[in-house]
Amino acid sequence: LRLASLLTGGQEQTEFSVHYQPIMSAKDEGIASFEALMRFRTPGGAFLNTASMIEAAETSGLITEIGAWMFRTSFSEFSNFQGISDQVRLNVNLSPRQVHASRIYKDIEDAATNAELSLNRLVFEVTEGLFLSNDQVTLDLLTWLRKRGATVVIDDFGTGYSSLSYLRKLPVDGIKIDRSFIMHMDQDPDALAVVKSLLAVAKALDLSVTAEGVETVAQRKIMQDLNCSYLQGYLYSKPLSAADLTDFINKAV
Ligand code: G
Ligand code: G
Ligand code: NA
Ligand code: MN
């Protein structure tokens, strides 16, 4: 694949695939959504580091092409998942460069049409950094997605050094609290205080909250007691291939 070989400096057959990590409803621990995460594999079968591959794709601009592939692949795999209710949704990450490429409208529309997937089954994750410059391109895209029925959440929330007051004006439906806070909250009172204040702000602004990186029963209990909406992390499942996900779904129901 030409794109992959560009990214990896010539390793011809680097394979793209998508893994899916479940997101559970905090109350009943049923499956609420799956987050689609890109995977890059060498001909030898080793997985390359996703974050560095995405960063390289972002820097080179290839992310728009890879992103379009990601929409097509994850939407159509998701619409073929068996045994999930039609309330279950698909989360997809958008990088800043993707958001700023005008083709994204058509890429999303075409992939959704092709997979016969309504946009109200989709959740788009964007990072806090996108909002720092308050640019109209970002606001227009997110507004359009929400008008079409999609959900928009801010990923890795709390790491971006932005003030909380700006949240009120943004075209978003929820936040995902960064894993670094969840990881430390049962030992570090400051991390717990941050988590509590994020939940209070989200409640006041009527935003959903997802806790990322929930690994222990103690962390789950804290988040349930604080009325967090959704939980995601290794306690439930690591990201799984579409094939392995079938087992997870069958066990969950
Ligand atoms: O699961 P994990 O190690 O793969 O994710 C590493 C990072 O790569 C995360 O920050 C995740 O949001 C990002 N990422 C994974 N897949 C995609 C994708 O399809 N698009 C974008 N923009 N980022 C992705
Ligand atoms: O930036 P984003 O939140 O999209 O990145 C998700 C990343 O977090 C992926 O690399 C995913 O594999 C990882 N991840 C998801 N759940 C857990 C968890 O419970 N613990 C740890 N350590 N990593 C997790
Ligand atoms: Na994400
Ligand atoms: Mn995240």
The pLDDT, as a whole number, for residue 75 is: 98
pTM: 0.95
Give the pLDDT score at 163: 72
Query: What pLDDT is recorded for position 3?
Result: 58
| Cα–Cα distance measured from residue 47 to residue 191, given in angstroms and rounded to the nearest whole number | 32
Looking at ligand 1, which atom is closest to the CA of residue 38? 16
pLDDT at 2: 55
* Ligand 1 center–CA 245 separation, angstroms: 18
In this structure, the chain runs to a length of 253
Is residue 211 a contact partner of residue 179, using CB atoms and an 8 Å limit? no
SS3 64: helix
Q: Given this model, what pLDDT does residue 165 score?
A: 76
Protein residue whose Cα sits closest to atom 12 of ligand 1: 93
Q: What pLDDT score was predicted for residue 137?
A: 96
Q: Which of 49, 238, 240 for a ligand 2 pocket mutation test, highest count of atoms within 8 Å of Cβ?
A: 238
**In the chain, domain spans:** 23-37+61-245
ipTM: 0.96
Contact 17, 241 (CB under 8 A): yes
Task: Flag residues of the chain having pLDDT under 50.
Answer: 1
CA-closest residue to ligand 1 atom 3: 50
Exposure string of 208-237, with b = 16+ CB inside 10 Å and e = fewer, is bbbbbbbeeeebbebbeebebbbbbbebbb
- Find out whether 173 and 207 touch, Cβ atoms under 8 Å: yes
Q: Which residues 6+ apart lie within 8 Å of 133 measured at CB?
A: none
CA dihedral 64, 66, 67, 71 (to 10 degrees): 140
Atom of ligand 2 nearest to the CA of 178: 3
Ligand 2 pocket, Cβ-based, cut-off 6 angstroms? 21, 37, 93, 155-156, 179, 212-213, 215, 233-234, 239
- How close is the Cα of 172 to the center of ligand 2, in Å? 21
For 2, 47, 53, 97, 185, the CA distances from 61, given in Å and listed in that order, are 14, 22, 12, 7, 37
Q: Is the CB of 159 under 6 A from ligand 1?
A: no
Tens of pLDDT, residues 36-71? 999 999 888 899 999 999 999 999 999 999 999 999
The finding on whether 22 has its CB within 6 A of some atom of ligand 1 is no
Q: What is the pLDDT of residue 44?
A: 86
Ligand 3 centre and the CA of 21: distance in Å? Answer: 10
Question: Which atom of ligand 2 is the closest one to the Cα of 233?
Answer: 19
Q: What is the pLDDT of residue 92?
A: 98
Given 3.40.50.1820, 3.60.20.30, 3.20.20.450, 3.40.50.720, which CATH number is that of 23-37+61-245? 3.20.20.450
Q: How far is the CA of 56 from the centre of ligand 1 (A)?
A: 12
- pLDDT value of residue 1: 47
Q: Closest ligand 2 atom, CA of 234?
A: 19
Instruction: Give the ligand at the shortest distance from the Cα of 23.
Output: 2
